[in-house]
Amino acid sequence: MKTRTITSAFILLVTVPLIIFSQYIIYPIALAVLSLFATYEILRAIGVEREYILSVPAYILSCALPFGSFFVTNEKSSIYLLTIAALMFFYLIYIMGVSVFSKGRISYKTIAEVFMSITYVVVSFSALSIIRYINREVGVFWLALVFIVSWVSDSMAYIVGSLIGKHKLIPEISPKKTVEGAIGGVVGAIIAFLLYGLILDLAIEEMEVRYFVLAIYAAILAVVSQLGDLIASLIKREHGVKDYSNLLPGHGGIMDRFDSILAVSTILLILCLVVPPIIIV
């Protein structure tokens, strides 16, 4: 527990300044590095990290796409999103071709799992970058929502589940999670989002906070956040892996620590593009 607490404090001390100073290029560089580690971890869990014909292009994409988001503006956003979709499709065709010419050595099932996993990691880390730069006036406030919902939902689910949790959520995947904890995570996220919106509303005169939208988004994202945790657990369970790596003592790897954040980032980006919860007027 001591090791886990120290690591958590370190992560917090690094993450908060990165968000605050995310207008600088150090932020997308950090995301590119994290994306690279996460890509390696998930390929390692699948067991193909040494299949360099599959992994090397994945590593390139995992670094290039989150970093490239730094240069995105409102005008270029649709072009960049299309570029991401195109590159991921080219990667799909490429690895399917690899499977064909491997003459059965690399199965289609393996290719499918690799593509789904790499798309999840690369697109999610790219979204963490795009959401910051797609609207440079309010992007940093949108970005903070990703971390707020992930941390609050996870913490409240644990606290409520420990105190009053009686009904197991999905014991086959995560034995400790409870229905009561999941509900507590959603309620906690809604309260946290509304408090965050109120602080911004009071602190920044030209800020317009859409409280109803924030509450709806909090509920949606809290569910997605907890689902992200379960998805990461499912992958580990199916491949007999306890932790994705030992990079973060007490937490495991990047995929262990960012499982909820990765699930939330792309969904929040889509939601913000449809109906922004926070705007400058």
Contact assessment for residue 174 and residue 230, using Cβ atoms and an 8 Å cutoff: yes
pLDDT of residue 54: 95
Structure confidence at residue 225 (pLDDT): 94
- CB–CB of 247/37 below 8 Å? yes
List helix spans (H) across the chain: 2-20, 26-46, 52-68, 77-101, 108-133, 139-164, 179-203, 211-238, 254-257, 259-274
Query: How far apart are alpha carbons 105 and 83 in whole angstroms?
Result: 31
How does pLDDT run along the chain (281 residues), one tens digit per residue? 567 677 778 788 888 888 888 999 999 999 999 999 999 999 999 999 999 999 999 999 999 999 998 988 777 778 899 999 999 999 999 999 999 999 889 999 999 999 999 999 999 999 999 999 988 889 999 999 999 999 999 999 989 988 998 888 888 888 788 989 999 999 999 999 999 999 999 999 899 999 999 999 999 999 999 999 898 888 888 888 888 888 887 778 899 888 899 999 999 999 999 999 999 88
Angle between helices 211-238 and 259-274 (to 10 degrees): 140
Q: What pTM did the predictor assign?
A: 0.92
Q: Can you give the pLDDT at residue 237?
A: 86
Q: Contact, 180 vs 167, CB < 8 A?
A: yes
Q: Tell me, what's the pLDDT at 72?
A: 81
Query: Exposed, middle or buried: residue 133 (CB in 10 Å: 0-12, 13-18, 19+)?
Result: buried
pLDDT of residue 2: 66
Structure confidence at residue 169 (pLDDT): 85
Res 59: pLDDT: 97
